Amino acid sequence: MASLFKDPSKISVYRDRRFPGTQEEFDETLQNSTTVYVGNMSFYTTEEQVYELFSRAGEIKKIIMGLDKNTKTPCGFCFILYYSREDAEDSVKYISGTILDDRPIRVDFDWGFQEGRQWGRGKSGGQVRDEYRTDYDPGRGGYGKLVQKE
């Protein structure tokens, strides 16, 4: 069956500022990658829960939990490395938007895990977008980090 993800411009809206290559190289890497990124996770979701849900799309090689660089605790995202491209595509197609720990999670293709990418890049140590949040989100430590500082 033809892949649903032939058009690289539609494959992911996220562009990692730290990818060491051109846009063309980034797009090509995404087309072939067997790694996915999972966002909007609860801080309390465990690696075991992630394994249980994501192994429905295929055999998992490795899970890397995203961590706050100061506290070293989960900060709401992770990377999942599959063995096969087809399983990674199924994960994006069927698991993205489903509910994990009462939250709709987002599954996105990723260019590949590198040491260092597990850490939140926000000034506070967590994820960047978490700092700008103005809502109260109990699954993510209450208010966003910038609001908490006010």
89 binds ligand GTA (CB under 6 A): no
Contact flag: residue 124 with ligand GTA (CB under 6 A): no
Number of helical H runs and strand E runs in the chain: 6, 6
Tokens coding 137: 């989100």
* Residue from 34, 82, 95, 117 binding ligand GTA (CB under 6 A): 117
Q: Which stretch binds ligand GTA (CB under 6 A): 3-11, 42-50, 82-90, 126-134?
A: 126-134
What residues are paired with 62 via a beta bridge? 81
Mask: binding to ligand GTA, 38-57, rule CB under 6 A, as x and -?
Answer: -x------------------
Phi-psi region of 72 (alpha: psi -120 to 50; beta: other; left: phi over 0): left
* Closest listed residue to residue 146, CA positions, set 137, 57, 134: 134
State the residues that interact with ligand GTA by CB under 6 A: 14, 16-17, 37, 39, 66, 77, 108, 110, 117, 120-122, 127-129, 132
